[in-house]
Structure 1
Amino acid sequence: MNDPGGETFEQQAYITRFLLDYTAVPLAGGTFLRGVLPARDAVRVVTGAVDAVAPHELVAYEVPLSDEDEEPVTAPLVLGWTRTLASGPLPETDATVMSMPLVPVDTTVLEPADSTRTDQALRLLRTLAWPFIESPPSPALCGFLFTGQDRMRLYLAGEMADGLIAADVQLTGALTALLAALPSLVDEEERWVTDTFDPHCAYSVDLTTW
C-alpha cells in the first residue's frame, strides 16, 4: 500500500479506534471484529468468531471511506453496514485478500443496521474516557488483524516510511515495555522487510521476540 496521504490515515485511525470494542462485544450473534485493514480509499473490516484467526474462518468487507457525494463516511455508519452484513449470509465473492474472502460493499444500496443500546452505552463511555482529539496519537493505529491466539499485526503510520508499517507483536510478554518502545522501533529502517503477501502495508516489522 503506497502512502495515500495523512487525511486517509487519520480517518482510518478514527474508524479503528471506534470499532475496537467489538473485538469483545459481538457485532451480531456470534460474529466479532477480528481486524481492520487499511486499504487505499477504504477500510476492510474483518469479521469472524471470537477466537478466529485462520483466513478461511474470516471475512473481509471492503467499505469505501467516502460516500456518493465524496463526503467522508463516519465510524458509526461503518459499524452499521458491517452489522447488516454480519447478520446475513455471506455474499458471493470471488475476490480474496491474504487468503480471506473479500466482499466489496456498495454503501449506496446497503442499509446500515440501527445502533443498539450497547452501542449507545459504549459511545457515551468512550467519549468520556477518551475525549475526541483532532489528530490521532503517533504512530497512528490505522488498523490491526489477529494473526494467532497470542499474536496481532498492527498497521501504524510511522514518521519515516512512505506508507504504513505492519508491526507483528505478541500479546503475552512485556507489553508495557513494547508499547513504550513501539514509536521508535517502527521507524528503525533496518527492521523493515518488504511484505509481498500483505497489500495493506509498505513494510512489516517482526517484534514478536522483542
Structure 2
Amino acid sequence: MNDSGGKTAEQQAYITRFLLDYTAVPLAGGTFLRGVLPARDAVRVVTGTADTVAPHELVSYEVPLSDEDEEPVTAPLVLGWTRTLASGPIPHTDATVMGMPLVRVNTTVLEPADSTSTDQALRVLRTLAWPFVETPPSPALCGFLFTGQDTMRLYLAVEKADGLIAADVQLTGALTALLAALPSLIGEKERWVTDTSDPHCVHAVDLTTW
C-alpha cells in the first residue's frame, strides 16, 4: 500500500475507532451507526434504526476526509455532521451504493451538531481504556458494515494487498479463536475473491463458516 493510501487508511481507521460506540448509543433519536465504509478520500457513514441491515432501510453519508483548506477532518467533526444529518429528514439523492441511498455531504455548508454529555463521557472513558499508542493495530480496521443479524463485514488494511480486504465474519461461535487467527487468515491470497457488488474493497474473504 503506497504512502498516500496508507495515510488514508490510517485516518479511516481513526474515524472508525472513534465512532464505534454509536453502534450501541443512538446518534440521534432512534438512529444508530450501522457501518463505516472506506471510500476514496472519504468515509461513508451508514445510519439506520437499531438492528437494521436491509440496504433500503439504511442511509450512507459520504464525508470527505479533508476540509476546504485540505486539512484532515477530525472524528468529532464527522460525528457532529452525521448527527446533524441524522436529526433531520433524509436529503434527496439519486445515488446509491450497495443498495443504500448515498448522500454526498457538502461539509462547507453543514453545521456540525454540538457534542452531548454522553459524547464527553465516552471521550473520557475511551481515552482511559484505549490510550493513544504510536503503533496502530495491525491490520487496521478501516470500516465495517452490519450485513445480517449475526454477521458483519470488516474492512482491513493488509500490507500485501493493493487496497482493503473485506472479511465477512459471524458474530456467534468461536469469536476468540477467529479474532486471534484473523490477521493471518486475511493474508492468505488463496482465500481472496472479487466482490463486484462492493466498491470499498479490492478483495473479499468469507470467514463466516471458519
Considering the TM-score relative to the shorter chain, is it more than 0.5?
A: yes
Match for residue 207 of structure 2?
Answer: 207
Match for residue 19 of structure 2?
Answer: 19
Q: How far apart, CA to CA, are the structure 2 residues paired with 1:48 and 1:28?
A: 10
Identical-residue share of aligned pairs (%): 88
Structure 1 unaligned segments of length 5 or more: list them: none
SS at match of 1:29: coil
**Cα distance, 1:3 vs structure 2:** 9.4
CA offsets, 1:86-132, max 9 Å, x none?
00000000000001000000000000000000000000100000001
CA offsets, 1:144-202, max 9 Å, x none?
00000000000000121110000000000000000000000000000000110000000
- Change over 3 Å in CA distance of 1:117–1:54 after alignment to 2: same
Contact 1:62 1:103 in 2 (8 A): yes
Match for residue 9 of structure 2?
Answer: 9
TM-score normalized with structure 2 length: 0.98
Q: How far apart, CA to CA, are the structure 2 residues paired with 1:14 and 1:96?
A: 25
Match for residue 178 of structure 1?
Answer: 178
Contact 1:3 1:162 in 2 (8 A): no
- Change over 3 Å in CA distance of 1:156–1:3 after alignment to 2: farther
Structure 2 unaligned segments of length 5 or more: list them: none
Match for residue 40 of structure 2?
Answer: 40
CA offsets, 1:39-90, max 9 Å, x none?
0000000000011000011000000000000000000000000000000000
Match for residue 92 of structure 1?
Answer: 92
Q: How far apart, CA to CA, are the structure 1 residues paired with 2:4 and 2:177?
A: 31
Contact 1:3 1:163 in 2 (8 A): no
Contact 1:167 1:207 in 2 (8 A): yes
Match for residue 53 of structure 2?
Answer: 53
Moved more, 133-142 or 55-64: 133-142
Q: How far apart, CA to CA, are the structure 1 residues paired with 2:46 and 2:152?
A: 13
Match for residue 163 of structure 1?
Answer: 163
SS at match of 1:70: coil
